[in-house]
Amino acid sequence: MDRSSIVKVAALMVTGFGIGIDFTGALMLVPAIENSFDADITSTQWVLNIYALFFAMTMVAGGRLGDMYGHRKIMIIGLTIFLFASVMCFVAPSLDFLVGARALQGIGAGCVWPCTLAFGATKVSRPEHRALVMGLILAGVTTGNVFGPMISGLAVSFGEWRYFFLANIVFSCISMATALLLMQRETQHKQGEHIDYAGMGILSFAVLLLLYGLDVGADWGWTSVPLLLLFFVSAVLFFLFPKVEKRVVEPLLLPQMMQNKQFRITLGLNMFNVSAAFVGLLYFPQYMQKVLGWSTFESALGLAPLTLLLAVGSVVSGTLYNDFGPKRLLFWGYLIATVGAASIVVLPASFGYFQILPGMAMIGLGATLTVGPSGTAAVCAVKPERAGLVGGLSFMTHLVYGAISVACATAIMYVVSFSSLRDKLAAANISLTDADQRAINGGTLNTESAHAVLAKLNSNQVETLKSAIASAFDSGMNMAFIFSTISVSVGILLALMLDESKLHKIEE
């Protein structure tokens, strides 16, 4: 590549790095955000979920808009949205405001990411350099995934979790400047492109209602009429989604693709591989901070076995795919991830960090063997002209199911840990109201509500309470990983059902 192309690729890598740090780095902030806004895990999980959902639902539209109006223009618009949202995260006065800003960040990232890939594939590199350029851009993202937790750990160690979003602001400004200065304007655009706003809207509302129901279920009561109505409306919207897709000009899910059995299998393989990884990324740092008493930066280093394997996986998965084929990779990857998720449940809490270390390593290795190959297999299951659509769709499915997995796991974790905490307090003859127990459930004792509860107890009771909370958190986390184990194990069956001989040979 010439010097100009190298500079442009470096600029795209910086953009990818900024997106990468935002996803994993924000996860490390959850305990600090709980303390800052006096919230519990069922509320702070939205810091992850809302970003993943809006990123996923915007990404396909962002790619189409780039085709229609120019990738450079949509990239700059997306970076502007992301920059503004990062400032809003930095100054957020409440958790609801922060969640709204994170949703806006997801929209910005959903515009930037597909245009970054498209620009790298079509405008920066010659055909013989395309694979190298795409690999370098992905390396920028995965490097951001590794450094994101460390940046947030440093921010918290300086006494303010908001400093993390300064990194978002800095990288957004750098990316915007390089896009304006280095990326040439496009003069020709695709004509006749359509965006499935109806399908995206219905699917987004269906998922949002489901996630919200899982969030408030413990407070409203799992059999309460309002909650059941919420789930009913969500189910109706999920039912209507394929009906609407049959009527729009260019749906997210083309009916002829959904009649393709191998495509349906590969789409499922893109879903279930994220359950253990997403749940682990949320709960491993909390376990290290709330149960083991580690600092945020120490827990960021403790998370490295997972993040490093996820980063390495994006680099080597392409070579492994060609050498071993998708069926073998996906089967062993899902099997290893399933064993890893199960090991967290089986190993005793007395092992401390080593209760989760083997699981982290196996979940990371399993993701290495499944995330890239499942996306490649999905693209291979359809005609070449559908490759771009399916690539975006598979990643959208990946993120949406990841958000649903986190919400389901958190609902399970909260109920189980609350029940365990109540039983342990009763056994220790410590009497607290349900409201007091809810204030301390989840492991954080630095909120105003938790301080008010601790003030009612003597020193011996406080020590007993801390032990009970740590044990309850571990019980809840274990049950969340039982859910993840079951979810990931579905991928083993799907991998066995995959027919490699029919990939690239399907007639739509």
Residue 246 CA to residue 255 CA, distance in Å, equals 7
Check whether 387 has a pLDDT greater than 80.
no
Split at pLDDT 50, 70, 90, the class of 505 is very low
Residue 39 CA to residue 83 CA, distance in Å, equals 26
Residue 29 CA to residue 48 CA, distance in Å, equals 10
pLDDT of residue 378: 78
Please give the distance of CA 398 from its chain centroid, rounded to a whole number: 8
Q: Which residue has the tokens 């580690």?
A: 294
Query: What single string gives the DSSP state of each residue in 404-452?
Result: HHHHHHHHHHHHHHHHHHHHHHHHTT----HHHHHHHTTS---SHHHHH
Split at pLDDT 50, 70, 90, the class of 121 is low
Please state the pTM of the whole predicted model: 0.84
Lowest mean pLDDT among 61-70, 148-157, 250-259, 478-487: 250-259
For the record, the structure tokens of 336 come out as: 């290893």
Q: What are phi and psi of 457, to 5 degrees?
A: -115, 155
Check whether 313 has a pLDDT greater than 90.
no
Split at pLDDT 50, 70, 90, the class of 129 is low
Residue 491 CA to residue 232 CA, distance in Å, equals 27
Q: What is the CA radius of gyration of the chain?
A: 23
Percent of the chain exceeding pLDDT 70 equals: 90
Of 139-143, 269-273, 337-341, 403-407, the range with the highest mean pLDDT is 337-341
Check whether 180 has a pLDDT greater than 90.
no
Residue 468 CA to residue 478 CA, distance in Å, equals 15
Query: What single string gives the DSSP state of each residue in 447-489?
Result: SHHHHHHHTTS-HHHHHHHHHHHHHHHHHHHHHHHHHHHHHHH
Residue 104 CA to residue 112 CA, distance in Å, equals 13
Burial letters 136-160, b for 16+ CB under 10 A, else e: bbbbbbbbbbbbbbbbbbebbeeee
Give kind and range of the element (H or E) at residue 82: helix 71-91
pLDDT of residue 508: 41
Residue 215 CA to residue 387 CA, distance in Å, equals 36
Residues ≥6 apart with Cβ < 8 Å to 194: 64, 248, 249, 250
Burial letters 290-313, b for 16+ CB under 10 A, else e: bbeebebbbbbebbebbbebbbeb
pLDDT averaged over every residue in the chain: 84
Residues 412-457 pLDDT 10s: 999 999 999 999 999 989 888 888 888 888 767 777 888 888 888 8
Residues ≥6 apart with Cβ < 8 Å to 367: 273, 274, 276, 277, 309, 310, 313, 333, 337
Give the start-to-end residue ranges of the domains of the chain: 1-184, 196-249, 417-476
Homologous superfamily, domain 1-184:
MFS general substrate transporter like domains (1.20.1250.20)
Give kind and range of the element (H or E) at residue 3: helix 3-27
